[in-house]
Amino acid sequence: MTSTSRAERRRTTFRAGERAGEVAAILDLPEPARHLLVVGHGAGAGMEHPFLEAIAARLAARGVATFRYRFPYMEAGKRRPDPQPVLLATVRAAVAAAAREVPGLPLSAGGKSMGGRMTSLAAAGEEGAEEPGLPGVRGLVFLGFPLHAAGKPGTERADHLDRVPQPMLFLQGTRDRLAGLDLIEPVIDRLGARATLHVVDGGDHSFRVPKRSGRTDDEVLDELAETTAAWLERF
Per-residue pLDDT band at 235 (split at 50, 70, 90): confident
Residue 130 has pLDDT above 60, yes or no: no
Does residue 38 lie within any of the structural domains? yes
CATH code for position 48: 3.40.50.1820
Does residue 57 lie within any of the structural domains? yes
Does residue 71 lie within any of the structural domains? yes
Q: What is the pLDDT of residue 6?
A: 74
Each residue of 8-25: pLDDT tens digit? 999 999 999 877 899 999
Does residue 1 lie within any of the structural domains? no
Each residue of 76-108: pLDDT tens digit? 999 999 999 999 999 999 999 999 999 999 999
Does residue 140 lie within any of the structural domains? yes
Residue 154 has pLDDT above 80, yes or no: yes
Does residue 144 lie within any of the structural domains? yes
What is the residue-averaged pLDDT of the chain?
Answer: 94
- Structural domains in the chain (count): 1
Domain that holds residue 138: 6-232
What percent of the chain is predicted at pLDDT more than 70?
A: 95
**Over residues 212-216, mean pLDDT:** 91
Q: In what order do the strands lie in the sheet with 64-69?
A: 6-15, 22-31, 64-69, 35-40, 107-112, 137-143, 168-173, 195-200
Residue 226 has pLDDT above 80, yes or no: yes
Does residue 35 lie within any of the structural domains? yes
Three-state helix/strand/coil letters over the chain: CCCCCEEEEEEEEEECCCCCCEEEEEEEEEECCCEEEEEECCCCCCCCCHHHHHHHHHHHCCCEEEEEECCHHHHCCCCCCCCHHHHHHHHHHHHHHHHHHCCCCCEEEEEECHHHHHHHHHHHCCCCCCCCCCCCEEEEEEECCCCCECCECCCHHHHHHHHCCCCEEEEEECCCCCCCHHHHHHHHHHHHHHEEEEEECCCCCCCCCCHHHCCCHHHHHHHHHHHHHHHHCCC
Q: What is the pLDDT of residue 2?
A: 44
Q: 113-123: string of b/e by CB count within 10 Å (b at 16+)?
A: bbbbbbbbbbb
What whole-number distance in Å separates Cα of residue 118 and Cα of residue 133? 12
With a threshold of 0.85, does the pTM exceed it?
Answer: yes
Each residue of 20-56: pLDDT tens digit? 899 999 999 999 999 999 999 999 999 999 999 999 9
